Amino acid sequence: MGILQPDIPVRRMASERRTKLTDRVLCRSLTPIGFALPGVHDEYMRDSLLALAGHGDGHVLTVAVALLLAILTGRSDLCIAGVFGAGKTRSLAVLLIALSCELDDFYAVVYTKENVAAKALADQISDLSPPTQAAFGRLLGRIEEGKGEAYATKLDVRCSDRNRVISEKRILIATGGSATAEMAMKYSSFSLGFPRRG
């Protein structure tokens, strides 16, 4: 957790950035709700996220520690699996919001297998009303976009203005198929301009 270990080859992230990430997110998650910490969004974190992080099932902290361990060991991805209703989506939503609140330069792409999971994650994030909500976007394919408002979320990036909108987002949610199709486009902001960091 931010401690350099000579036996672990950290390839992808500089030491000071790794420490900043682990220190800020883990420190906020483990500090009692009554204690304010420096940060623009600390009040939101205390009022909205800490109760979820402190839930007795331990899922939010488990996902946070798993992500931080992946970063410390030089991995750039983290697969989350579990039974239906275990709290995977909620935990990921809380963690992504915490990272977006704590780090102005945090960028991520979340790949889901199906549109149902992408919609569920986007709905969870929207329901928590983070102050960084404008940084999130859910990429829609033509078929999903055509399903109507019942399948829409507040984070949707529609096909018509996708290139303009993608460049303004820091965290994108997409199905594997939608992301693959987007990266195959010659002038896509997703394949050309979206920062490969975080």
Taking only the tens of pLDDT, the chain with its 198 residues reads: 334 445 545 455 555 655 566 667 777 777 777 888 888 888 898 888 887 877 777 788 888 888 777 777 777 677 777 788 888 888 889 989 988 888 888 888 888 888 888 999 999 999 999 999 999 999 887 777 778 777 888 988 887 777 778 878 889 898 877 777 767 777 666 654 454 433
Which of 101, 80, 98 is closest to 89 using CA atoms?
Answer: 80
Note every long-range contact of 15-18, with CB atoms under 8 Å and residues 24 or more positions apart, other chains counting.
18/71, 18/72
Q: Cite the DSSP H helix spans in 73-148.
A: 88-102, 115-127, 142-145
pTM of the model: 0.77
Residue found by looking up tokens 């030491």 in the block: 15
Task: Tell me how far CA of residue 197 lies from CA of 13, 65, 89, in angstroms.
Answer: 9, 19, 22
